[in-house]
Structures are given as structure tokens and as C-alpha cells.
Structure 1
């Protein structure tokens, strides 16, 4: 059992709070029974090691998670309560975390399926929004997220926590608008942009079977080219005093409308 916070392994884990090191090593830190269980059940091959603090384990399902990890020959490191609290990124740590390899795909590697639903995020700067959108996208049966241009890191602990494990069931792609536009055209996908400038209510249009919902950043929205080159533009009606919604909330509302249409 590791009892020192100056241990080299512990220092390495703590460094993953910094994006620079996550990008260099292409790994991430996930924490909590729900997220670790999702990683083991959905992408166990991505897990490099599991960190356990026996004195903090309270969930009845932890035993099953540990047994599954042992069956898959995943390395398990035990640490003291004090060490785990030092590396934890959350209040009330549950005593279980994992180091995982980041999983990225390219547009060129995607083989589109019928009724595919994707979200493209242009310059999204908030990792919490990315994680929440991943959670909703997984809930509606979507395929994944395409990050356009400079973006927050979906492997940020804040994003992973917000995704509640959905990050392991969604495809992550980094690209740019030009490549996405060409790929969408070649594969018969419709680009549907969300902007407050649109005259069409998000519930009044018919979403095609293969749709990419394009969302801009909360600060600047979609740029001129993106709005011009989308197949259609939609907006959410606002009748109260606020003039906008949080990005992940707005995205979730539209995603559920798309799912509703696809199911009917």
C-alpha cells in the first residue's frame, strides 16, 4: 500500500490535473465508482491501472468492479485514505479511481451507420459542457462529438465527471470545419446549426436520418461561414427575461427533439 504523497506514482497521477501532461501522455484520470465501472464495462482495454483506498470504499458494487478488473488483468494499486484524498478531484471521494488511455478517432476512420446522430462543437471552452453533452448524447443513442478548432479537453476530470461515464460509450474526434463539411457532404450527413439568429424553431423542422448538430461557443456562437454552410439553422424560443441558455442545456433540448423524431 502506498502511504506517501511524495511517491513517484502518486506525483505522476496528480500531474494529470494539468492538460499539458494529459496531452503529452495521452492518458486521463477518472474517479468514482460509476465512472470507473463504465470504463471497465465499456472500454476495459483503455485502463492502465486502478487506484483503491480501502478505508474510503463504501459502495456495495465496488466488489464487483474490483472482481471484473482482476478478471481483465488490470493493475490495481492500493493507497491510504490520506493519499487518495490528496489525488482526488472531488468532494467526498469514494476511494476508487483509474488511469485510462485517451481514445480518439478521426473522421476518415468513421463508417457511418443509418440514423447516425453527432454533435459538432465549435471552439467549446468549457469541459463541463462537453461532459454534459456526452452524457445526453449517449442517452439519446448518439454516436459521438466532433471538436472543431481549439477546444476544452474532454479528458479533463471535470468533463469526465460530468459525462458520468458516457465518455467511454461515445466517439471523440478532433477536426476542423473544412474537413467536417467535406466529410458530411460525401457521407450524406446534414449539418444543422443552432443559433439565436435562426428564424426556424428547433421543433418545426424535420431532422434528416443522418444529422450533425453544430453548436457554437457560448461567447461567439457559430461563425459566418458555419451559419452559411449549414443545411439548416434552428433556434430555441425565449419568452422570459433571459436571452440564452447554457450550451449543454440548449444542445440537450435539441438532441431530444431529434431523438423524438427518429423514434416516430
Structure 2
């Protein structure tokens, strides 16, 4: 490592700012920003290619890079001013990286066994909810997470932050609702759609076969296509004054019921 950047007007610094702020820039370049040592470690474990690493020496010990699988990444020391310019989080470890995004197509999904458990979220808008869903998926060790009709790109810094790096630990894909349904049908994966209409209590279903559990937003729920494609529509009995709950909470309840059944099969 023999390169340093001290100016906030540096071209690479400007690129990082664009990658953080602009989805269009992330999509155009196929690059995104990772901030934090734990997130970087999870990204390398998830086989993401790190292109550039920038660190602020007062906060990050460069010797710690030896524990990360960074390949041929360029390593650059940056000044405090540069770090403050590009850092996204208020509290972080002094390390920021540029990495290559993955295609995340449903065609690229592969399952380790013939009995996958998949979590699908249709059109989630809030990065915080997407991050929470990814954390739930990681905790349950599901085979894949699929975002249908995404409203934001997966490499939004808010998603990476709120998922605590679980974006990198899950096998994840995006696609249109119709393409995802066709994919599931082709692989004979049972669809259970969380929707009030024509539903049965979620805990009365059998999730021990190949299963996809589908959740929608609180505001609009799931589209008609999921209602029609489902083997069974399912709902969580509500005993209070309201008739819905946060999508990430609902996803956790449903996925862990499927895990419970599979663990005791």
C-alpha cells in the first residue's frame, strides 16, 4: 500500500459519493459501496469482489486487512477530511470499500437440496424493512430471498446498513412477480401467500415440502397474481385492534413456523 488520498476533490472520492447517493450510478457501473469491517468480512465470505479499499488510519489498523479475503483490491489510505466526506454512518470502523455487484437474477438461483425454503417480498419500499427481512432470512438460513417488483436497488446503502451485512449472507434475487411465479411453478415449489382473502391460519399448513412464503407491504398487501398462484393463502390471526403488522415481523413469524415444522419432521 503506497497510495494516499488527502483531497475531497479527488476523482475516486467523487465516485464514491455518487455510488452512495445515486441508484443510477450503481446500476450504470455495477459497483457499490461497503462501509464497515464486519460488512466487508461478510461480503468477502459471500464471494463479492472488492475492487478498492480506503481506510482512515486513526480508526482502522491496516494489519486487520490480513483477516479479510480482499484478493487484488487496491488499498488506499485517506485523510480525516476525505473519510468524513465519504463515510455514511455516524459510527464506523474507518474502512470503506468499492465492490462489484452481482446480477441477482432468478435464473442464477441454485439450491443445495430438492426441498428449498424461500422467502419472497413483493414491492417493499422501505430499505429498513428490506434489511430486517434479510436479517430474518439469515437467522432462519433460508435457501433464497427474492424481491418481486423491487422499488429500490439492493445495493442502497440503507439496505446494507439495516441488514447489518446480511445482504451478503443470503442468496438473493429480484424479478417481476410474473417471472418469479413462473420460476416457482417450473420447479414445483408450493406458494403460500400472506393475504387476508380466502386465507387459512398460517400454522395449519404444511411447509415441509418445497415452499415459498410470500409477504407484501402493509399499505397495499400482495397483488392479485400471488393470491391466484398460491397453493394456499395464509394469514396470522390478529387479536388486537389492527388487522396488519410490519412486513418483516410477519415474515419472521411465517418463516420460523416453516423452520419449526422442518426441524421436527
Question: TM-score normalised to the size of structure 1?
Answer: 0.90
Contact 2:50/2:70 (<8 A) preserved: no
> What is residue 230 of structure 2 aligned with on the other side?
230
Aligned to 1:257: 257
In 2: Cα distance, 1:109 partner to 1:128 partner: 25
- Per-residue CA shift, 1:3-57, capped at 9, x if unaligned? 21111100000001211111111211111121111112332x5211112111123
Could you tell me which residue of structure 1 aligns to residue 205 of structure 2? 205
Contact 1:104 1:172 (8 Å CA) reproduced:
no
Rounded to whole Å, the distance in 2 between the matches of 1:125 and 1:37 is 27
- C-alpha distance 96-263 of structure 1, shift in aligned 2 (>3 A): same
- Other-structure match for 1:41: 45
3-state DSSP of counterpart to 2:72: coil
**Does the CA-based 8 Å contact 1:85-1:93 persist in structure 2?**
no
Residue aligning to 1:83: 82
CA RMSD of aligned residues (A): 2.0
In structure 2, distance between residues paired with 1:28 and 1:147: 19
Identify the residue that residue 29 of structure 2 maps to in structure 1. Answer: 25
Q: Secondary structure at the residue paired with 2:131?
A: helix
In structure 1, distance between residues paired with 2:212 and 2:103: 18
Give distance in 2, aligned partners of 1:207 and 1:92: 41
Greater mean deviation of Cα atoms: 174-183 or 8-17: 174-183
Report the equivalent of 1:50.
53
| Equivalent residues of 1:198, 1:235 under 8 A apart | no
Which secondary structure does the structure 1 equivalent of 2:119 belong to? strand
Q: Per-residue CA shift, 1:189-221, capped at 9, x if unaligned?
A: 011111234542222211142111111123211
**Is the Cα–Cα contact under 8 Å of residues 192 and 232 in structure 1 kept in the other structure?**
yes
Deviation for aligned residue 1:155: 0.7
Contact 2:49 2:99 in 1 (8 A): yes
SS at the partner of 1:200? Answer: strand
Aligned to 2:15: 12
**Closer, same or farther: CA 21–106 of 1 in aligned 2, 3 Å:** same
- SS state at 1:89 partner: coil
Q: Deviations over 1:64-118 (max 9, x none)?
A: 3x01447723221211122112111111232012111111233333344323121
- Relative to structure 1, the CA distance from residue 26 to residue 70 in structure 2 (aligned partners, 3 Å threshold; closer, same or farther) is closer
Aligned to 2:240: 240
Distance 2:70 2:81 in 1: 28
Q: Is the 8 A contact 1:147 1:173 kept in 2?
A: yes
Take 1:192 and 1:255, find their aligned partners in 2: how far apart are those partners? 11
Aligned counterpart, 1:144: 144
What TM-score do you get using the length of structure 2 for normalisation?
A: 0.90
Match for residue 185 of structure 1?
185
Q: Which runs of 4+ in 1 moved over 4 A?
A: none
Q: C-alpha distance in 2, partners of 1:120/1:212?
A: 7
Is the contact made by 1:131 and 1:154 (CA closer than 8 Å) also made in structure 2?
Answer: no
| Offset at residue 158 of structure 1 (A) | 0.7
